[in-house]
């Protein structure tokens, strides 16, 4: 009965001109679900055979390649109190601009004439040192004069010794002559005694000869005494020569001692002078440190101190300067499993935070808004987050990085590897296998960069 009723309704709906029949009764439409299912299966089967570009994705931040281009603290080298601020946060400064003026807080530097008085002390020390050196030069001249006097004295004594030696020789000759004469007188008196006993001569003649003998003996004794006296005088001259040497040696030693004492005093004074000069240089350098200068051009940020008269300790941070001339780099943190796939010189694509991009990492031809980079360093030690740090710089052969990049901004890096079928990539991810990779120098031509 229902079959007949359905047949009647279909007939009525086919003959009717009412739109309700065509909207309510869909008897004339065929079911296409089966076709859609088969179509989706065929599409999925085609997709799994499409090429897929393997890649490594790592999150990182914008930094700088060189340390001196990173934000740096400006610290005070001396303690002091704030006298005047010359900048405020956000100001752009150039290298050498004055940031802050400090006032002195240590008692030993309160004297406003400290540099002048130190210079006067240095001048006085210089005069003292020159005086000691002049005294040393005078003692040198005095020592030379004593040496010349010693030589003259020794020459005079030498002449006297030579004269005395000649005199001794003369007196020795006189003594020899007196001895010969005495010997002759002795023979004569012996002969006279014999002749007196025999009566050949008279007693008067004998007495004359005896007197001659006594005179000869006296003359011989006198000559001997003179010779001995001359020899004693020669000995005294030698003693005087040695005494002269000792006397002048003592005088020269004393003068040399005075000279060395003067040189020692000059050296001590010079050391004190150098110390004062060092203090003067330190005072001068400290006076220049009252004005804190910008070490490089950049923007002032993070002012830690405020107000006037606030105390600063040595090494306290005053402000931070962000350099305006920066060579940007990206620090990526790669998982340990992906580290063997990263090599120096490898190309990387970036998506920067704040810069729109459309990315299909598996199909690089469909991406837009990415920027190129090149790996410059891979650190060998693990970071605190358990990943390895990789530094990437701008690729000079690719699109320039945005001028509005800022240090600390986020970036996502994509390192393209090998082209494989989609089904292989699915199978690799299910099993947790690492992706295929190549050495960038050998097979760089196989890399397919993402579209800019």
State yes or no: pLDDT of 6 exceeds 60: no
pLDDT at site 271: 93
Instruction: Give the pLDDT confidence score for residue 16 in this predicted structure.
Output: 62
What is the reported pLDDT for 3?
46
Most confident of 42-51, 278-287, 410-419, 439-448: 278-287
Instruction: Give Rg (Cα) of the chain.
Output: 61
Angle at 268 between CA 264 and CA 272, to 5 degrees: 165
Q: Both tokens of residue 320?
A: 């931070």
Q: Is the pLDDT of residue 437 over 60?
A: no
**% the chain with pLDDT above 90:** 14
Q: Render pLDDT for 209-266 as a digit per residue (tens, 0 to 9).
A: 788 888 888 888 888 888 888 889 889 988 988 998 899 899 889 988 888 898 899 9
Mean pLDDT over residues 393-410, rounded? 85
* Confidence class for position 446, pLDDT limits 50, 70, 90: very low
- Tokens 């005047």, residue located: 84
> What does the pLDDT read at residue 55?
72
Q: Looking only at Cα atoms, what is the longest distance across the chain?
A: 230
pLDDT tier for residue 11 given thresholds of 50, 70 and 90: low
Residue 356 predicted with pLDDT over 80: no
DSSP assignment of 280-302 equals: HHHHHHHHHTTEEE-SSSEEEE-
CA count, 13 A, side-chain hemisphere, 445? 1
Question: Which of 46-50, 64-68, 204-208 is predicted with the least confidence, judged by mean pLDDT?
Answer: 46-50
Residue 162: is its pLDDT beyond 80? yes
Where do the domains of the chain lie, and which CATH numbers do they carry? 51-65+327-446 (2.40.30.170), 70-104+290-323 (2.40.50.100), 114-286 (1.10.287)
Tokens 């005199």 sit on residue:
167
Backbone angles phi, psi at 421, to 5 degrees: -65, 155
Report the alpha-carbon distance of residue 139 to residue 14 in Å, rounded.
146
Q: What is the pLDDT, as a whole number, of residue 439?
A: 53
State pLDDT tens for residues 14-28: 666 666 655 665 555
What pLDDT score was predicted for residue 7?
Answer: 53
Q: pLDDT confidence of 447, banded at 50, 70, 90?
A: very low
pLDDT tens sequence across 283-336: 888 888 899 999 999 999 888 887 788 888 888 899 999 888 888 899 999 888
* Nearest C-alpha neighbor of 372 from the set 265, 451, 302, 278: 451
Residue where the block lists tokens 């007197």:
211
Distance CA 198, CA 193 (A): 9
């Amino acid at each position: 009965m229902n079959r007949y009723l359905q047949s009647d309704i279909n007939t009525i709906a086919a003959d009717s001109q009412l739109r309700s029949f065509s909207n309510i009764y869909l008897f004339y439409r065929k079911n296409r679900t089966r076709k859609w299912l088969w179509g989706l299966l065929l599409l999925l089967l085609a997709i799994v055979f499409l090429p897929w570009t393997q890649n490594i994705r790592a999150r990182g931040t914008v930094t700088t390649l060189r340390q001196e281009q990173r934000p740096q603290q400006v610290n005070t080298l001396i303690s002091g109190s704030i006298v005047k601020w010359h900048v405020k946060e956000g100001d752009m400064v150039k290298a050498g601009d004055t940031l802050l003026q400090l006032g002195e807080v240590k008692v030993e530097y309160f004297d406003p004439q400290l540099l002048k008085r130190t210079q006067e002390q240095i001048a006085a020390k210089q005069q003292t040192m020159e005086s000691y050196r002049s005294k040393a030069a005078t003692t040198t001249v005095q020592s030379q004069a004593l040496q010349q006097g010693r030589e003259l004295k020794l020459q005079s004594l030498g002449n006297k010794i030579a004269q005395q030696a000649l005199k001794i020789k003369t007196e020795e000759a006189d003594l020899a002559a007196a001895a010969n004469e005495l010997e002759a007188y002795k023979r004569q008196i012996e002969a006279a005694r014999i002749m007196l006993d025999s009566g050949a001569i008279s007693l008067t003649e004998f007495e004359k000869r005896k007197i001659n003998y006594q005179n000869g003996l006296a003359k011989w004794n006198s000559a001997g005494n003179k010779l001995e006296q001359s020899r004693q005088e020669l000995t005294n001259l030698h003693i005087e020569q040695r005494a002269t040497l000792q006397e002048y040696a003592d005088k020269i030693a004393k003068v040399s001692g005075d000279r060395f004492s003067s040189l020692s005093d000059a050296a001590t004074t010079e050391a004190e002078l150098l110390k004062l000069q060092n203090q003067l240089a330190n005072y001068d350098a400290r006076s220049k440190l009252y004005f804190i200068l910008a070490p490089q051009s950049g923007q002032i940020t993070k002012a830690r101190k405020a107000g006037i008269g606030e105390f600063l300790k040595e090494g306290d941070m005053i402000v931070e300067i962000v350099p305006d001339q920066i060579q940007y780099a990206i620090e990526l943190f790669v998982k340990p499993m992906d580290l063997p796939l990263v090599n120096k010189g490898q190309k990387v694509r970036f998506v920067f935070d704040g810069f729109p991009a459309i990315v299909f990492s598996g199909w690089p031809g469909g991406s837009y808004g990415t920027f190129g980079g090149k790996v410059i360093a891979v650190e060998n030690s693990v970071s605190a987050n358990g990943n390895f740090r990789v530094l990437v710089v701008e690729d000079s052969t690719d699109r320039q990085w945005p001028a509005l990049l800022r240090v600390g901004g986020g970036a996502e890096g994509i390192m393209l590897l090998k082209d494989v079928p989609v089904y292989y990539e699915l199978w690799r991810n299910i099993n947790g296998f690492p992706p295929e990779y190549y050495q960038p120098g050998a097979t760089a031509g196989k890399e397919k960069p993402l579209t800019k």
